[in-house]
């Protein structure tokens, strides 16, 4: 952390970063790309005198506490070796909340993401676990970490939600007021038998709750009228994968902000539902793209703006003053993704994140009164801008005419002609890629490969119609969209048709295996991290082999529930069609996609006499939470690509 550096204007930092582009490209070691981000989740204390964030030590995330006022004190580092630190947030000026994922093994030796929140003082001492007076409750709750209201006007307490069982074996999702110095919790409001979530107002008051109705399945939003009286203000059923997407209250506290679909454009935006009248009023809609996220005040949780992603994110605030600040940031960092991610209670200081495809993510501490900034952290310090590939939009039409958005990363210093190419579809599949720094893609580009990242149908961000076009199309039209991108690269002369490899993680791993099985003449190799090979098995694990749950309803839309059809789109069932070498990697503690998926694929490929290798990573989850895992993945992938499509 550059805590001792003098306060300089933001523009000076931008000019210094731009100067890096003048240096020639090099080939940094794998570790320079594979390291976990040096800083993440920055949080300012209410008085602005302390900063906390997640840093990396010995390849693992640690919590770090810095004293900003007075400056000069050494940082306090909090390691955790039994799991992973995944979040930090100040509860008040004296106590920091640290959220930990312990990845606990439970019955049948299954791994669950077992989350807990602790609080420590500014020196990292006197730690207590939230719900310290409820050990039995903590033992069987997967998550004792859900903070639903900081309520800064009551700094000694926070509000958390937890499944509790005050009546026999019945579990109720209830609201608790928790003392951050002792961890002791008292129940404020017990949920009903159907309650799944809560809306609070930033001051410790429950405004509404979510109930999950059964037969038919529906989600209902109920307003709290006091004295255990609740009034229904919204309800949706699950027949088309619609959910009550509630983001919080408007800044004035008079309305609840919810996601909604524009009837004319099909884009998802935000509406405000007036708590007094129940009337809906459009809050924000973009004509071409979905709202990506609601921007919340870090202390009250109230909705103050939105982010929308076209090729890169844009940020729009409802308050003119906040929007003017955003425009000033964009002027200081032209062409980059820049926005405030946290501020102190009086909004005198704020932390700003800056990112871009060739701009390594940085965090700055800004003083809003003086408009001066201090560089806090510069991720991926082993890289320079010249080492990174140029990223450009690469749109194309699918075979049925659907417009596909994609991004192409080109190797620095090479002409875009007859290149070895890596096709890298994203995970999810309800997700998307956009123009940002991507450590996988940039490593591959630095080693000489062009990288295509297609947003196939079923990706998010492009409206309900585009999302629904992916329903039931795993391994079919979703896969065709990827194939059509490959064919365009070949037709444009960018790709050497004999040197194309498909690489992905999670759903992207499924797409890699499906590409090898269903278009075997297109790819010279396929690499899958935690990919799905047996779609029937995925459905059974996710839904409990039942068709009468919200999860099952969602999966029925996206993959169907006909066993024979699911077999037809499962690479595991078609291993005999694979012609190229396949490399499988998987974390042994993966809860999202069980390692059985890769083990089955390895057995099927071996049985069919195909070239395959499975590498299992001890102690790793679905998300590559250790630097050592990332290094191993890139090391194995580099060798695999060199052996099959050259450098």
Q: What is the DSSP string of 336-394?
A: SEEEEEEE-TTSSEEEEEEEETTEEEEEEEEETTTTEEEEEEES-TT--GGGSPEEEE-
- DSSP state letter for 108: G
For residue 138, the model assigns a pLDDT of: 62
When pLDDT is averaged across residues 555-583 and rounded to a whole number, the result is 93
- Non-local (6+) Cβ contacts of 214 within 8 A are 194
SS3 assignment, position 43:
strand
460 inside domain: yes
Compute the distance between CA of residue 50 and CA of residue 96 in angstroms, rounded to an integer: 10
For residue 199, the model assigns a pLDDT of: 97
347 inside domain: no
- Tokens matching residue 432: 């998307």
Reported as a single tens digit per residue, the pLDDT across 193-247 is 899 999 999 999 999 999 998 877 889 999 999 999 999 999 988 777 778 899 9
Compute the distance between CA of residue 83 and CA of residue 468 in angstroms, rounded to an integer: 37
| Average pLDDT of every residue of the chain | 91
- Non-local (6+) Cβ contacts of 293 within 8 A are 306, 307
Q: Provide the whole-model pTM.
A: 0.93
Pick the more confident residue, 105 or 63. Answer: 63
SS3 assignment, position 545:
coil
When pLDDT is averaged across residues 284-307 and rounded to a whole number, the result is 98
For residue 18, the model assigns a pLDDT of: 43
- Non-local (6+) Cβ contacts of 150 within 8 A are 89, 91, 158, 159, 202, 299, 300, 301
Residue ranges making up the domain that contains 158: 146-244
Identify the helix (H) or strand (E) that includes residue 323.
Answer: helix 320-332
11 inside domain: no
Compute the distance between CA of residue 346 and CA of residue 352 in angstroms, rounded to an integer: 16
**Dihedral of the CA atoms 354, 356, 361, 363 (nearest 10)?**
0
399 inside domain: yes
Reported as a single tens digit per residue, the pLDDT across 469-492 is 999 999 999 999 999 999 999 999
> Does position 610 have pLDDT exceeding 90, yes or no?
yes
User: What is the CATH number for 512?
Assistant: 3.40.50.1820
Compute the distance between CA of residue 622 and CA of residue 367 in angstroms, rounded to an integer: 38
Q: Please say which residue of 198, 219, 244 terminates a domain.
A: 244
When pLDDT is averaged across residues 40-51 and rounded to a whole number, the result is 97
CA contacts within 13 A on the Cβ side of 86: 20
Helix axes 507-518, 477-491, angle to 10 degrees: 70
Strand partners of residue 367: 349, 372
Q: What are phi and psi of 138, to 5 degrees?
A: -65, -30
Q: Which residue has the tokens 């890169």?
A: 312
> Does position 622 have pLDDT exceeding 70, yes or no?
yes
595 inside domain: yes
> Does position 95 have pLDDT exceeding 50, yes or no?
yes
When pLDDT is averaged across residues 532-557 and rounded to a whole number, the result is 77
> Does position 459 have pLDDT exceeding 50, yes or no?
yes
> Does position 7 have pLDDT exceeding 80, yes or no?
no
Compute the distance between CA of residue 292 and CA of residue 269 in angstroms, rounded to an integer: 9
Compute the distance between CA of residue 507 and CA of residue 406 in angstroms, rounded to an integer: 17
> Does position 546 have pLDDT exceeding 50, yes or no?
yes
Judged by average pLDDT, the poorest of 142-146, 297-301, 398-402 is 142-146
Q: Please say which residue of 244, 264, 282 terminates a domain.
A: 244
> Does position 8 have pLDDT exceeding 60, yes or no?
no
> Does position 17 have pLDDT exceeding 50, yes or no?
no
> Does position 22 have pLDDT exceeding 60, yes or no?
no
580 inside domain: yes
For residue 13, the model assigns a pLDDT of: 36
- Non-local (6+) Cβ contacts of 595 within 8 A are 586, 587, 588, 616
> Does position 545 have pLDDT exceeding 80, yes or no?
no
> Does position 282 have pLDDT exceeding 90, yes or no?
yes
Compute the distance between CA of residue 115 and CA of residue 274 in angstroms, rounded to an integer: 35
Strand partners of residue 89: 97
For residue 137, the model assigns a pLDDT of: 67
Q: What are phi and psi of 521, to 5 degrees?
A: -90, -5
- DSSP state letter for 552: H
Strand partners of residue 260: 269
Name the H helices within 532-584: 535-543, 550-559, 563-568
Q: Is residue 601 a contact partner of residue 513, using CB atoms and an 8 Å limit?
A: yes
CA distances from 631 to 40, 334, 635 (A): 19, 33, 6
SS3 assignment, position 404:
strand
Specify whether the backbone of 36 is left (phi greater than 0), alpha (psi in -120 to 50) or beta.
beta
Compute the distance between CA of residue 255 and CA of residue 272 in angstroms, rounded to an integer: 6
Compute the distance between CA of residue 446 and CA of residue 411 in angstroms, rounded to an integer: 6
Compute the distance between CA of residue 126 and CA of residue 120 in angstroms, rounded to an integer: 6
Q: What are phi and psi of 637, to 5 degrees?
A: -65, -40
For residue 554, the model assigns a pLDDT of: 79
Reported as a single tens digit per residue, the pLDDT across 326-384 is 999 999 999 999 999 999 999 999 999 999 999 988 999 999 888 889 999 989 989 99
> Does position 102 have pLDDT exceeding 90, yes or no?
no
- Non-local (6+) Cβ contacts of 578 within 8 A are 516, 517, 520, 526, 571, 605, 608, 610
For residue 2, the model assigns a pLDDT of: 40
Which has the closest alpha carbon to 233: 286, 180, 275, 284? Answer: 275
Strands (E), 580-646: 582-587, 612-617
For residue 107, the model assigns a pLDDT of: 54
Compute the distance between CA of residue 269 and CA of residue 1 in angstroms, rounded to an integer: 38
> Does position 111 have pLDDT exceeding 70, yes or no?
no
When pLDDT is averaged across residues 634-639 and rounded to a whole number, the result is 98
For residue 556, the model assigns a pLDDT of: 81
- Non-local (6+) Cβ contacts of 636 within 8 A are 583, 585, 615
> By percentage, how much of the chain surpasses pLDDT 90?
79
When pLDDT is averaged across residues 248-255 and rounded to a whole number, the result is 97
545 inside domain: no
Most confident of 21-30, 143-152, 160-169, 524-533: 524-533
Compute the distance between CA of residue 475 and CA of residue 566 in angstroms, rounded to an integer: 10
**In the chain, how many domains are there?**
2
Is the four-CA dihedral 328, 332, 333, 339 of positive or negative sign? Answer: negative
Q: Please say which residue of 229, 244, 259 terminates a domain.
A: 244
Q: How many CB atoms lie within 10 A of CB 237?
A: 12
Reported as a single tens digit per residue, the pLDDT across 125-147 is 999 999 999 876 666 677 788 99
CA distances from 80 to 119, 130, 389, 534, 632 (A): 14, 17, 35, 35, 22
Compute the distance between CA of residue 266 and CA of residue 104 in angstroms, rounded to an integer: 41
Pick the more confident residue, 239 or 411. Answer: 411
> By percentage, how much of the chain surpasses pLDDT 70?
93
When pLDDT is averaged across residues 282-286 and rounded to a whole number, the result is 98
For residue 144, the model assigns a pLDDT of: 82
- Tokens matching residue 281: 């009023």
> Does position 112 have pLDDT exceeding 60, yes or no?
yes
Q: Is residue 638 a contact partner of residue 30, using CB atoms and an 8 Å limit?
A: yes
What's 232-283 look like in SS3? EEEEEECCCCCCCCEEEEECCCCEEEEEEECCCCCCEEEEEEECCCCCEEEE
282 inside domain: no
């Amino acid at each position: 952390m550059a805590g001792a550096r003098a306060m300089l204007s933001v523009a000076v930092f931008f000019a210094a970063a731009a100067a890096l582009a003048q240096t020639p490209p090099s080939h940094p070691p794998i570790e320079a790309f594979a390291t976990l981000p040096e800083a993440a989740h920055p949080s300012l204390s209410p008085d602005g005198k302390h900063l906390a964030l997640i840093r990396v030590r010995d390849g693992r995330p640690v919590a770090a506490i810095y004293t900003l006022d007075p400056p000069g004190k050494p940082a306090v580092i909090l390691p955790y070796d039994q799991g992973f630190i995944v979040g930090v947030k100040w509860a008040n000026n004296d106590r920091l909340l640290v959220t930990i994922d312990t990845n606990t093994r439970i019955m049948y030796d299954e791994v669950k993401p077992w989350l807990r929140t602790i609080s420590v003082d500014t020196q990292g001492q006197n730690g207590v676990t939230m719900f310290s007076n409820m050990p039995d409750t903590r033992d069987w709750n997967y998550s004792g970490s859900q903070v639903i209201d900081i309520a800064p006007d009551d700094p000694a307490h926070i509000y958390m939600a937890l499944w509790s069982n005050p009546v026999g074996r019945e579990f109720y999702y209830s609201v608790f007021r928790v003392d951050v110095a002792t961890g002791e919790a008292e129940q404020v409001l017990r949920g009903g038998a159907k309650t799944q979530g809560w809306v609070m107002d930033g001051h410790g008051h429950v405004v509404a709750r979510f109930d999950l109705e059964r037969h038919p399945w529906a989600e209902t939003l109920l307003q709290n009228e006091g004295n255990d009286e609740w009034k229904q203000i919204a309800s949706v059923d699950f027949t088309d994968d619609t959910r009550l997407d509630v983001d919080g209250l408007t800044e004035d506290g008079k309305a609840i902000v919810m996601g909604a679909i524009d009837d004319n454009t099909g884009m998802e935006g935000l509406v405000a539902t007036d708590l007094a009248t129940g009337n809906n009023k459009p809050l924000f809609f973009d004509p071409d793209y979905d709202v990506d996220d609601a921007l919340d005040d870090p202390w009250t949780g109230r909705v103050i703006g939105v982010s929308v992603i076209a090729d890169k994110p844009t940020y729009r605030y409802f308050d003119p003053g906040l929007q003017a600040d955003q425009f000033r940031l964009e002027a200081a960092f032209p062409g980059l993704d820049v926005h405030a991610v946290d501020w102190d209670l009086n909004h005198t200081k704020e932390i700003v994140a800056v990112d871009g495809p060739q701009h390594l993510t940085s965090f700055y501490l800004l003083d809003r009164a003086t408009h001066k900034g201090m560089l806090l952290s510069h991720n991926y310090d082993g890289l320079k801008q010249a080492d990174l590939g140029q990223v450009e939009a690469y749109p194309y039409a699918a075979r049925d005419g659907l417009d596909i958005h994609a991004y192409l990363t080109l190797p620095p210093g090479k002409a875009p002609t007859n290149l070895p190419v890596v096709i890298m579809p994203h995970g999810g599949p309800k997700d998307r890629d956009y123009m940002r720094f991507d450590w996988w893609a940039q490593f591959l580009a630095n080693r000489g490969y062009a990288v295509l990242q297609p947003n196939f149908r079923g990706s998010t961000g492009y409206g309900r119609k585009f999302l629904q076009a992916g329903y039931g199309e795993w391994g079919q039209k979703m896969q065709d969209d990827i194939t059509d991108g490959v064919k365009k690269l070949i037709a444009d002369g960018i790709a050497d048709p004999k040197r194309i490899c498909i690489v992905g993680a999670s759903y992207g791993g499924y797409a890699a295996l499906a590409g090898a099985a269903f278009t075997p003449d297109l790819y010279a190799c396929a690499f899958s991290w935690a990919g799905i090979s047996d779609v029937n098995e995925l459905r059974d694990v996710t839904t409990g082999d039942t068709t009468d749950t919200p999860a099952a309803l969602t999966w029925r839309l996206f993959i169907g529930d006909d066993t024979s059809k699911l077999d037809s789109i499962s690479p595991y069932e078609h291993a005999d069609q694979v012609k190229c070498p396949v490399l499988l990697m998987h974390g042994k503690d993966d809860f999202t996609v069980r390692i059985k998926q890769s083990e089955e694929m390895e057995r099927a490929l071996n049985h069919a006499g195909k070239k395959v290798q499975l590498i299992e990573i001890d102690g790793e989850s679905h998300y590559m939470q250790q630097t050592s895992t990332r290094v191993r993945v890139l090391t194995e992938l580099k060798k695999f690509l060199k052996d099959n499509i050259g450098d």
